[in-house]
Structure 1
Amino acid sequence: MKKFIKMSLVLGALTLSVNSCSTRQKVDLVVYNACIYTVDTSFSIHEAFAVDKGVFLAVGSTQEIRDCYKGRKELNLQGAAVYPAFNDAHSHFTMFAHGLSHADLRGAQSEEEIIERLQKHYELYKPDFLEGDAWDQTLWENKAFPTNEALSKAFPDIPVYLYRVDFHAYWVNDKAIELAGVKPGDPSIKPGEALLHPDGTFTGIFLEDTGAAISATAPSPNNATLKKYMMEAQNICFAYGLGSITDGGLLLHEIELLDSLQKEGLLKIRTDVWLTPSEENFARFQEPYLSDRLDITTIKLYIDGALGSRGALMYKPYSDDPGNYGIQVTSDEDFLDVCRLAQERGFRVSTHAIGDKGIRKVLDFYAQFLTPGNDLRWRIEHAQVVAPEDFKRFGELNIVPSIQPTHATSDMGWAEQRVGPERVKGAYAFKDLIQAAGWAPFGTDTPVEVFNPAYTFFAAVSRTNLQMKPEGGWYPEQILSREETLKGMTIWAAMGSCREKEKGSIEPGKWADFVVWTDDLMTIPIEEIPETSCQMNFLGGEQVFP
């Protein structure tokens, strides 16, 4: 049972004996009678801290802090757990915000259910086109990719764009294909990116760049609309207990909107923006950009697709699709050109790489720019299927493996079918990656998964679904400790964006970003973790939730 924690907010001064300080310094906030996991180098636990001008001023026992500091506001947490505000080190905030207007297809058990949800969405909003997110054919009785006959019959007059849960496969109706102006055999279609019927006609499933090009015919929301959704998305993040997020792979107009919102003081969540490698981005950003709320320090690349849609680049064919080796999304030449530019301008590189061949190619490419002992923190995102001999290479060149614990528990039902019993041993191998690299930032890949930090924590320490299956965890040797998990969601996540001096732990001089949790994630039974939630969220000492 989730316990209810009663908290009292005490305003004004309290009469206390002063033992360690001759006078009590007036500060903005004092928090006391708490169980504070500082996540400092010694992973120390304290009872109280003082905050002033947006930063932690001192940490210690309740008596020490209250003897020395008088808060304009004082918060008695009566034993509640406090952590550094959680940091989602791999997510897509703008995509998530945009998706708030889409039909929600997550968890649909059949093609028929998806069409029913789309029809309800259409009846409610009467849009000129339909977009839907997070369908997953692996949940259906027939786990093959769908075709678009039923979709085109249900919606013959408006284009429909449906994004698979990994956002690497696109399911569209005939009207959307017609608007895109593509036909079978079109030279713009890269090999393997359009699925065909035996007669050579489109099935309605497109992958990677071809799918993205077709979906680009869907009108984009104007800035006013997107701003509204961004504010709603920020509130969702705050309610989950997030203080920092990542926004991976943005175009210039999206970055400019985010930047304008943070300059207006509306975008308060700390956002690590990654550039899409476009000419307009490179023309605009000659060097990294840093502010308290928004950083632009990284270029996002893709070497391959996703495992669920069989686009991850593999050395051997997929075990359940002989002849299919996946897709290389970015050419060797283009990849190296971007790496050179990043090195010249002082940007980090974060590369989506999932298949064993894709990961090795990125390791090989990075090796041309990185030397042993470097602290550039170039990253490999997901690193889902790693060849046994490649784990050590992360540590050798200080390459950062970025991991998403809920991917393992979402994919465990079909992952072995995709790659077979041997390759799966190096899949979602989070413990091995952390041992090789020494640390790893954790994220969710939202909107692929859900932002909820409780789910991330639970997946990392259990390797089970919410029903605690399979018993003992999926490949339990890869289960992470609670300390590793809390670090991955806080200080290691901050390290992933080179911001560990400013955030990621509760220490004097750092931004006062912290959350109060309903239960102690470090001690409660594992099965209770998913039911826990954020009770209060502070960013720079300002309460942003509730």
Structure 2
Amino acid sequence: MRKIVMISLALGALALSASSCSTRQKVDLVVYNACVYTVDNSFSVHEAFAVDKGVFLAVGSTEDIRQYYKGRKEFNMEGAAVYPAFHDSHSHFTQFANGLSHVDLRGSVSEEEVIARLKEHYELYEPAFLEGDGWDQTLWEDKSFPGNQALSDAFPHIPVYLRRVDFHALWVNNKAIELSGLQPGDPGIRPGEAILTEDGRFTGVFLEDTGVRIRADIPPMDDKTQETYLQKAQEICFSYGLGSVTDGGLSLEKIVLLDSLQKAGVLTIRVDAWISPSEKNFERFTSPYRSDKLDVSAVKLFIDGALGSRGALLYKPYTDDPGNYGIQVTSDRDFTLACKKAFERGLQVATHAIGDKGVGKVLDLYQPFLAPGNDLRWRIEHSQIVAPADFERFKNMGVVPSIQPTHATSDMGWAEERVGPERIKGAYAFQDLIQTIGWAPLGTDAPVESINPLYTFFAAIARTNAEFWPEGGWQPENAVSREETLKGMTLWGAKGYFREDQKGSIEPGKWADFIVWTKDLMTIPVEEILDTSCKMTFVAGEQVYP
């Protein structure tokens, strides 16, 4: 007997006839003849659903749904795959939007190519300063950090600010250093944060807080320009099947802008915004703030830097840089104080931790706040290198490992050089992390990586690059199943910020955020995945793409 998951009839028991269209309940939308992956508790697959007033009303067979419901709009999907709209559980949406105005340096294979791209941009727009994102010296013949002589010669009169692909290292010309007022030996520069020549001069590369300090001279983007780029970013996200994103580490001003644009209907993408640990933010958010479009319920903290720029905090020195243990970017005292304020306000804590000592230290500092059996869902973002004994601590403390699968496939060519053959065994261990608590939200870390969630899906299950190297996948024992990956991009993503009752699956009563895909990601050969794309995106039952 056919079963319909749920039919909600506002008028009570009606004598409905399968042969009489006039008695069917009118709803906003009916989707039928689809392959609907509901991502419910049983991971059931259905054919059709009805949507009304922005929520799923009923899910079932095509025959049942069309028998009982008449849509003001109806879509015959002709067998296409339908999933809950994807959620990016770790991204920087506002930063991604702003980056659309920067010079894209991703994939550049030399310092000369970087400068050529900058010159091309300058000749087109003649800006008062240059910003670029995405250079990666591990792709160059000389894999050491660059100097800035050529950069300064090319642009002697305007400041140039170039962020490394991990956004934890900044490469600048002499003009930018001059404007900052920094000098070698400045007591405000934390050890290791300024890369120096042998004779003690700045090379032009700065890490972590010192890089942030230099970037403070960049004029802020005005709200109107910001609005334009946020709209462009939203369009890109919708075209990739994202119905919601995370926006980590925001100032109060950025959160207020997002909220105002959503209330005005300018932005319809749902945003999970994490506050930076500023006094202004803690004064404003004395408890979580939630609307149907915006959540402000977590604080973003940092414990260390990135592996690529050797700022991730390690128990033992870097294999390729003896004597360097990485950088602790937040003191134990300041970190504990921020955790205390978050705990008192009922906010989650989401902490960037990449090195094994970074992860272990965060677990240590979390422990006083996390009673056994807690459901606070405090998170560790990235968790890229984990000491063997610390996997069990995730489970015992209820700490959520937040995973970005494309980091593994981006870093696999050089990661072992950084940490050696033993530590690499506990690196990018996604399956092991999922098993700690039974679930994990997945994201992109955009703009560090592409915001396209298709790459997340592919990297999680294949653990290869787009050319399918290495054969069989890198450390394939930590590949993630397709079902786990889809859950991580939908239901587990929602669970990561306490929204699993409203979104993340196609079930009656939940927000009608769903996508249609060109091929079924759950069944096609892995070799075909990157040739697929999002066909349609709906948020609250409204088509937002195309």
- Amino acid across the alignment from 2:468: M
1:441 aligns with 2:441: yes
Taking the aligned partners of 2:93 and 2:22, their CA distance within structure 1 comes to 48
SS at match of 2:537: strand
1:129-179 CA-to-partner distances (Å, cap 9, x unmatched) read 000001100111111110101000000000000000000000000000000
Q: Which residue of 1 aligns with 2:215?
A: 215
Instruction: Say if 2:128 and 2:158, in contact at 8 Å, map to a contact too.
Output: yes
Superimposed CA distance per residue, residues 297-341 of structure 1 (whole angstroms, 9 cap, x where no aligned partner): 000000000000000000000000000000000000000001111
Q: How big is the shift at 1:23?
A: 3.2
Deviation at 1:20, TM superposition (A): 11
DSSP 3-state at the match of 1:511:
coil
- SS state of the match for residue 368, structure 1? helix
The CA deviation string for residues 223-275 of structure 1, in whole angstroms up to 9 with x for no partner, is: 11111000100100000100010000011111111111011011110100000
Q: Secondary structure at the match of 1:297?
A: strand
1:388 partner SS: coil
Aligned to 1:7: none
RMSD: 1.2
Tell me what 2:130 maps to.
130
Give yes or no for the alignment of 1:337 onto 2:337: yes
Q: Tell me if structure 1 keeps the 8 A contact 2:21–2:70.
A: no
CA distance in 2, matches of 1:409, 1:529: 16
| Shift, 1:513, TM fit | 0.1
Matched ranges for 1:218-257 at <5 A: 218-257=218-257
Hey, what's the Cα distance between the residues in 1 that align with 2:418 and 2:311? 11
How far has the Cα of 1:282 moved from its partner? 1.4
Q: Which amino acid aligns with 1:124?
A: L
Paired residues of 1:20 and 1:68 also in contact (CA < 8 A): no
1:62 counterpart residue number = 62
Say if 1:454 and 1:531, in contact at 8 Å, map to a contact too: no
- Deviation string 1:7-59 (CA, Å, 9 cap, x unpaired) is xxxxxxxxx97079993110000000000000000000000000000000000
Provide the rounded CA distance (Å) in 2 between the counterparts of 1:371 and 1:308: 35
> What is the identity, as a one-letter code, of the residue corresponding to 1:531?
D
Matches within 5 A, 1:156-235: 156-235=156-235
> C-alpha displacement at 1:218, in angstroms?
1.0
SS in 1 for 2:389: helix
Q: Does 2:153 align with 1:153?
A: yes
Q: Residue 94 in 1 paired to residue 94 in 2?
A: yes
**TM-score when scaled to structure 1?**
0.96
Deviations along 1:429-449, one digit per CA (max 9) or x if unpaired, are: 000000112100000000000
Alignment-derived partner of residue 11 in structure 1: none
Please list every run of 5 or more consecutive structure 1 residues that lacks an aligned counterpart in the other structure: 1-15
Deviation at 1:352, TM superposition (A): 0.2
- Supply the AA of the counterpart residue of 1:347: L
Q: Which amino acid aligns with 2:175?
A: K
Alignment check: 8 A CA contact 2:380 2:400 kept: yes
- Residues of 1 paired with 2:264 and 2:358: CA distance? 41
Per the alignment, residue 388 of structure 2 pairs with 388
Match in the other structure for 1:5:
none
Structure 1 residue aligned with 2:52: 52
Report the alpha carbon displacement of residue 220 of structure 1 after superposing the two structures with TM: 1.4
Give the aligned length: 531
Change in CA separation of 1:29 and 1:424 when aligned onto 2, cut-off 3 Å? same
SS of 2:300's equivalent in the other structure is strand
Counterpart in 1 of 2:109? 109
Q: Hey, what's the Cα distance between the residues in 2 that align with 1:68 and 1:484?
A: 33
Q: Structure 2: how far apart are the matches of 1:122 and 1:218? A: 17
Matched with 1:3 is: none
Letter in 2 for 1:128: A
Structure 1 CA distance, aligned partners of 2:437 and 2:19? 46
Q: Distance in 2 between matches of 1:30 and 1:22?
A: 16
Secondary structure of the residue aligned to 1:386 is coil
AA at the equivalent of 2:384: Q
* DSSP-derived class of the 1:274 partner: strand
For the 8 Å contact 1:20–1:64, the answer to whether it is kept is no
Letter in 2 for 1:323: G
Larger displacement relative to structure 2 (451-460 or 281-290): 281-290
Match of 1:482 in 2: 482
Runs of 4+ in structure 1 over 4 Å off: 19-22
Match of 2:474, SS state, is: coil
1:124 aligns to what SS in structure 2? helix
- 1:365 is aligned to 365
**5 Å matches for 1:12-31?**
18=18, 23-31=23-31
Distance (whole Å) between structure 2 residues aligned to residue 36 and residue 197 of structure 1? 59
Distance in 1 (CA, whole Å) between partners of 2:437 and 2:450 is 26
Counterpart in the other structure of 1:466: 466
Separation in structure 2 between the aligned mates of residue 72 and residue 227 of structure 1, nearest angstrom: 33
What are the within-5 Å matches in structure 2 for residues 283-362 of structure 1? 283-362=283-362
Tell whether the 8 Å contact from 2:82 to 2:515 is kept in structure 1 after alignment.
yes
State whether residues 170 and 206 of structure 2, in contact with CA within 8 Å, keep that contact through their aligned partners in structure 1.
yes
Contact 1:355 1:384 in 2 (8 A): yes
2: distance between equivalents of 1:429 and 1:371?
Answer: 26
Structure 2 CA distance, aligned partners of 1:448 and 1:357?
Answer: 22
> What TM-score, normalized to structure 2?
0.96
Contact 1:156 1:174 in 2 (8 A): yes
- Preserved CA contact (<8 Å) 2:90 2:248: yes
> 2:417 is paired with a residue of what secondary structure?
helix
In structure 2, the CA distance between the partners of 1:82 and 1:187, relative to structure 1 (3 Å rule), is same
**Alpha-carbon contact 1:385-1:426 (below 8 Å) kept:** yes
CA contact (8 A) 2:17 2:23 kept: no
Q: Residue 397 of structure 1 aligns with which residue?
A: 397
SS at structure 2 position matched to 1:420? helix
CA distance in 1, matches of 2:167, 2:147: 17
The share of aligned pairs that are identical, in percent, is 72
